Amino acid sequence: MSVSTAYLGIILIWSTTPLAIKWSGEGPGFLFGLSARMLIGTLICLIIMAFMRVRLDWKKEALLTYLAASLGIFGSMLCVYWGAQYITSGMVSVLFGLTPLLTSVFAAIILRENSLNAIKLFGIFLALCGLVLVFYTDIAKSEIVYVGILAVIGATLLHSLSTVLIKKIGSQLPGIVINTGSLLISSFLFILVWLITDSELPQTLTLKSGGSILYLGVFGNVVGFTLYFYALKNMDASKIGLIPLITPVLALILGYVLNSETIGWTLISGTALIMLGLIFHNWRKTPVPVLDN
């Protein structure tokens, strides 16, 4: 597979995931849809590992890596699915676009990375202004919306923290091993939460919700992460960082066309500020060439 094909695949999957999350919870409930998605993804990953003859590592460093990754899967996904009940799929994608900004903040605090220069800080400021604009405008429409917004922001924080913790641990495990180990832990926790809070199987499952669960299990959990690790290995990190600039726009369009979601000017303005902030955050100064005399 070419790197450009993998890159395009990531964009398409990440753009459609918020809408699929929205649809998967219609009817069976978000906890059932989430647990079923994780089980499907886990089983497929185990099959792939068996085919590749790769085994899970259970040493201390590997376990810490699985737990750190589970924070981004279990904690983040639980917040996203719960919050998606109250906000549009497009807004879910826009809020998750803050991930690179939050990741850089956690990296500066935990990894002591000296990466927050004036331009990057200005980008974070612009993104926060866009977030405030979206936040207060939607609260004026419906008070319950703020619950969904806060939940997805919490999910973004957990996802960013998980990424930095994995980096701090520094495990050299293959991506499929990390993915499978974290999915095993997360699937167990999701099923446990479902049994405690609900534990009822849906009497009916529509084609839309069932198809969305299957799509998320196969493409969201397995194909998407596989393409991401492949692209990350073969592309500059700066190009990978451009993906959050593209996916929110596509997600907003898909939500409008396929789910009749409203896109107001305030949401467009807030999204534009967040995207502009990401542009500044990913800004790279072009080095001036030195000419030998």
Whether 135 and 149 have beta carbons less than 8 Å apart is answered as: yes
196's tokens = 């405690």
Per-residue pLDDT of the chain (293 residues; tens, 9 = 90+): 677 888 888 889 988 998 998 888 777 778 888 889 899 999 999 999 999 999 999 899 999 999 998 998 899 999 999 988 888 888 888 888 788 888 888 888 888 877 677 887 788 788 788 877 776 666 556 667 788 888 999 999 998 898 888 888 877 888 788 888 999 999 999 989 988 887 677 777 888 888 999 999 999 888 887 787 677 667 665 566 667 777 888 888 888 888 888 777 777 888 788 888 878 776 765 444 433 43
Nearest residue to 266 via CA among 254, 252, 280, 278: 252
Domain residue ranges in the chain: 3-281
Whether 94 and 274 have beta carbons less than 8 Å apart is answered as: yes
pTM: 0.82
